[in-house]
Amino acid sequence: MKKEKIMRRPSDDDSSIYLKTYRLAELSPSRAQHPPLVCTQVIRTQVLRIIYRAWTMNELSQVETDCVRLVKTKLPQIIITDKNCNDRCILRFARARELDVDATVDMMVKWKEWRVEAEIDDITEVSVQNEIASGKAYFHGFDKKGSACCIVRPRLHDPTARDINEVMRFGVFLLEKGITLSEEKGMSDQICVLYDRRGFEYRNFDRELFGVGKNLLSMLQDNYAERLGTFYVLGTNWLYWVLFKIISVFLTQRMKNKIKLVELVELPLYFEYGELPPEYTIST
């Protein structure tokens, strides 16, 4: 079977294999040395994922490449050998710090310390089972960028029936789960959020949770650098704008640029048919 090289060797450590792909369609058995390979959806997704990862590292500017290299020379060995750390991870942190090498190193050191102190790897479904059962947030499908989609429905949040610490653990649980979904089944290193505010009323407003909102935003921006793709907001109203005005002072401009206000009829622009639950599908 003829092999076709589709791009040059990527520089990322985890994608350092010499990327090749096979012509899987319209192969005649009489022309092939081996029986034709059946391309299942699983194989297709795996191939596309490998291509995506190599492409993302292959498209780096020289400045970004140099930044990643310099950061690696300054990082402690305990971070370099961390299972969550690779060239793409370093690149995300570098971009979040505008390619400032020292600022990137400092950010990653704090990231590692936070993961250890907060025991992130020990958060399980059991530890957040009440939040999962509420149905207020869950993953379903991917957007057109290949990012796993977390659907958040604040109308199901009851401030009188929750544990604030479990809520915060739940947030981390969702991030970790979404990242795994995007990397293993999608074609992205990021997640997206569909923040469905329809039906949200003042009784759903959680004063205590809003009070620690700054910490939550800092956690996202400092420890999950460039993990958020697009934040789709559905059902904006006056209360959204009041709350956003308060929260926006804690957001970086880079984070603000990720927010996209959408209407129900606009969702097909960002999600393929079948990627979202039926309640987000417009009947034609």
Q: Which tokens sit at 146?
A: 């290949």
CATH topology of domain 128-280: Phosphatidylinositol Transfer Protein Sec14p (3.40.525)
* Top-ranked range on mean pLDDT: pick from 2-6, 32-36, 93-97, 267-271: 267-271
What residue spans of 97-237 are helical by DSSP H? 101-117, 129-134, 164-184, 207-211, 213-223
Q: Can you tell me whether residue 152 is helix, strand or coil? A: strand
Which pLDDT score, from 0 to 100, does residue 1 have?
43
Which pLDDT score, from 0 to 100, does residue 10 have?
35
pLDDT one-digit tens code per residue, 231-254: 999 999 888 888 888 888 888 888
Residue 148 · residue 191 · CB < 8 Å: yes
Which pLDDT score, from 0 to 100, does residue 185 have?
84
pLDDT level of residue 26 (50, 70, 90 thresholds): very low
* Cα 3 to Cα 6, 20, 88, 284, distances in angstroms: 9, 7, 27, 43
Which pLDDT score, from 0 to 100, does residue 197 have?
94
Residue 15 φ/ψ, nearest 5 degrees: -115, 30
pLDDT one-digit tens code per residue, 69-123: 999 999 999 999 998 898 989 999 998 899 999 999 999 999 999 999 989 999 9
Query: Parallel, antiparallel, or unpaired for β 259-262 and 228-234?
Result: parallel
pLDDT level of residue 265 (50, 70, 90 thresholds): very high
Q: Is the pLDDT of residue 21 over 50?
A: no
d(CA 26, CA 253): 48
Element (H, E) at 88: helix 87-96
Q: Note if the pTM is more than 0.85.
A: no
Please give the single-letter amino acid code of residue 252.
Answer: T
Residue 116 φ/ψ, nearest 5 degrees: -70, -50
pLDDT level of residue 179 (50, 70, 90 thresholds): very high
Mean residue pLDDT of the chain comes to 80
